[in-house]
Structure 1
Amino acid sequence: MRTLTFAMNVSLDGYVAAPGDDLGWSTPSDELFQFWSDRVGSTGLSLYGRRLWEEMSSHWPTADQRPDATPAHIEFARRWRDMPKVLFSSTVGSVDWNTRLFTGDAVAEITRLKAGDGSPMDIAGATLAATAMRAGLIDEYVLLTAPVLLGGGAPFFTALDSWVNLNLVETRTFPGGVLLTRYETRR
């Protein structure tokens, strides 16, 4: 059975994006950027919601061709293109860059994918993750908490019908005061 991880940058007050989907507060240090690149390189399958997919696919497929591309950006762009992805959307017409489009029941498809053999999966995007969270499908939460208060926006966590007990399995500090906390779901 595959594991499913929800990992994102998050503000201290719990948001993954400021109002208007503004991500300007979450510019990573070189060390944090390398963490994300390594994560993409080791992910067997990434499950995307539409908004984050549009953000990522508007930049990373050709980011390595820009004149100002750093070696780290070139590596991330290659890893992102190569990583298998599933986009969960009923409004996007077509996809590219090693991506499959899924328009049906997200919970049923994520459950099916988890039941298979293979490498770990990541879920990318707060709305899609909220659906998986409410269905009890997330095995691990990785929060990279930035020392900023946004006061609103897209929350990392959704309202739940029941408690989810977690075990803290890792902490790490990155430059700029970003704190990684990784939790496994207690089953």
Structure 2
Amino acid sequence: MGRLLYTTNVSLDGFIEDPDGGFDFLPAGDDVFGAHTELMQSVGTLVYGRRLYERMSVWETDPSFAARSAALALFSAAFVDTDKVVYSTSLTATPTARTRIERSFDPTVVREMKDAADRDLLIGGADLAGHALRARLVDEVQLYVAPVSVGGGKPGLPTGIRIDLDLLGERRFDNGVVLLRYRPRLA
């Protein structure tokens, strides 16, 4: 059985996008990128919303990304080597291999994916993760907190729901980013 992990980059004030939709506030750093690559290499399935999938698919469809450095090539290879499930009402086809489209979020289907998995699943996209958090399917929340306050935008965690969390661990990076790992309480 696999665990469902929600991992995202957030500003210190909790946003994944600034008020203009930008998300470039996470400071660059080889150690943060390396941590993301290790995570990508450890999971068997990516469960993405359409917008995040479209942003990430370039790791498979544009060879120039992998050609830039050995570190980027490792990340690209991990993305290519992972099954992908994309939640979208508008996509009719996908440009990446090992990818299937789901039209609507069904907690039963996600539970079945977890039960059948021999590796962890990574859910991405704040809206999609919000559905999974509300359905109590997320086993771990991983927040890469950037040392910047953007003052508004799209929140990294769902609003309108209380989620109690237990701290599992933290990791500091040289560029000021802190990874916070939490387990949602089910009670």
Q: Which runs of 5+ in 1 are unaligned?
A: none
The residue identity in structure 2 corresponding to 1:69 is: R
Under a length normalisation based on structure 1, what TM-score does the superposition of the two structures give? 0.91
Report the Cα offset of residue 63 of structure 1: 4.6
The residue identity in structure 1 corresponding to 2:75 is: F
Partner of 2:146: 146
Report the Cα offset of residue 40 of structure 1: 0.5
The residue identity in structure 2 corresponding to 1:82 is: D
Q: After superposition, what is the alpha-carbon deviation per residue over 1:4-25, rounded to whole angstroms, capped at 9, x for unaligned?
A: 1111111000011113331211
Report the Cα offset of residue 186 of structure 1: 2.6
Q: Secondary structure at the match of 2:47?
A: strand
Partner of 2:53: 53
Partner of 2:98: 98
Cα distance change of structure 1 residues 170 and 114 upon mapping to structure 2, 3 Å threshold: same
Partner of 2:39: 39
Question: Any conservation in 1 of the 2:88–2:103 contact (CA below 8 Å)?
Answer: yes
Cα distance change of structure 1 residues 7 and 63 upon mapping to structure 2, 3 Å threshold: same
Under a length normalisation based on structure 2, what TM-score does the superposition of the two structures give? 0.91
Q: After superposition, what is the alpha-carbon deviation per residue over 1:137-156, rounded to whole angstroms, capped at 9, x for unaligned?
A: 11111011001111111111
Partner of 2:76: 77
> Kindly, what percent of the aligned residue pairs are identical?
33
Q: Secondary structure at the match of 1:24?
A: coil
How many equivalent residue pairs?
A: 185
Q: Which runs of 5+ in 2 are unaligned?
A: none
What is the distance in 2 between the residues matched to 1:27 and 1:78? 23
Q: Secondary structure at the match of 1:167?
A: strand
Report the Cα offset of residue 51 of structure 1: 0.8
What is the distance in 1 between the residues matched to 2:114 and 2:91? 24
CA RMSD of the aligned region, Å? 1.8
Q: After superposition, what is the alpha-carbon deviation per residue over 1:18-57, rounded to whole angstroms, capped at 9, x for unaligned?
A: 1333121124300100100111010111100011111111
Report the Cα offset of residue 108 of structure 1: 3.0
Q: Secondary structure at the match of 2:59?
A: coil
Report the Cα offset of residue 66 of structure 1: 5.3
Partner of 1:175: 174
